[in-house]
Amino acid sequence: MKKKTIKISIYGAVIFVILILFIACGPDVNTLTYKVTGTASTVNVTFRNVQGGIEQRSNVSLPWSLSFDVEGYGQFVSISAQNQGNTGSVTVSILANGNERRTSTSEGAFVIASTSGTWGFWDR
């Protein structure tokens, strides 16, 4: 009878530890923010959305930003913005949980600033 009780206790403890690890290591949700700033009057913005598709916003006034949640790691993210005027600068940035990870600036008529990276692998 004692051997059965010990086995059940060990199995129960193992299941409990696995359950705690599963809860603690659940999906890692982070906030991705695309940001466009500069002196350009309006820009066209193109970015990769959370589903992996490409979206475009036309004649956007600056500053502009968009945030959404990203689960896990390894997703390709990108943003570009094209100045729609004869003068001005355009800066695009990718932020991970509020920390700037990628940035690019262009200046002049109809220039394009573009940056990209792999979510969670910023130093590679």
Sort 36 into a burial class: Cβ within 10 Å, 0-12 / 13-18 / 19+. buried
Give the pairing of strands 29-37 and 89-96.
Answer: antiparallel
CATH code, domain carrying 65: 2.60.40.2880
Q: By the 8 A CB rule, do 45 and 84 touch?
A: no
Q: Count up the domains in the chain and report the number.
A: 1
What pLDDT digit, counting tens, does each position of 57-103 carry? 999 999 999 999 988 888 899 999 999 999 999 999 999 999 999 99
| Structural domain for 75, as ranges | 28-118
Residue 7, domain member (yes or no): no
pTM above 0.85, yes or no: no
Burial 75-105 (b: 16+ CB within 10 A, else e): bebbbbbbbbeeebbbbbbbbbeeeebbebe
* Residue 47 pLDDT level (bands cut at 50, 70, 90): very high
Residue 87 lies in a domain: yes
